[in-house]
Amino acid sequence: MQVKGWHMVREGGAVTLARRSPARFDLKVETLLPPVGRPERLAHQVRQDMWRALRDLRGFAPVVRVQPCAGGVTVEAGGEVAGALPRKAVETRIAEVLEDRANRARWVTWAA
């Protein structure tokens, strides 16, 4: 399904939001969040914050996957990059977005 230029794929309980289809993770960082009722809203919020942090990364196409797991949901954030990238630096920036306490609280509230 495509929503406003974004491809959303539901597989089992997982939701994958990507700019391009099929979604591809050239780089990926994971985190665990509490259970949410609206995983698609969580995916959009994570995507927006990740994009803000990485908008200067040329050729970047964000991908976020939200998947239920024991005790909550696993969020995989990253995406596809056309060209060379400083992998460790970019993954560190994504991890900073995912581990920011204010972001996490806002995401969980919005996706409740």
pLDDT in tens, 14-27: 999 998 999 999 99
Torsion, Cα 41 87 68 23, to 10 degrees, reads 70
The model carries a pTM of 0.93
Q: What is the DSSP letter of 3?
A: E
pLDDT in tens, 53-91: 999 999 999 999 999 999 999 999 999 998 888 999 999
Full strand arrangement of the beta sheet holding 6-11: 2-3, 6-11, 14-18, 60-69, 72-81, 27-33
Give the architecture-level CATH label for domain 7-111: 2-Layer Sandwich (3.30)
Q: How confident is the model at residue 2 (pLDDT cuts 50, 70, 90)?
A: low
3-state helix, strand, coil in the chain (%, to 5): 35, 35, 30
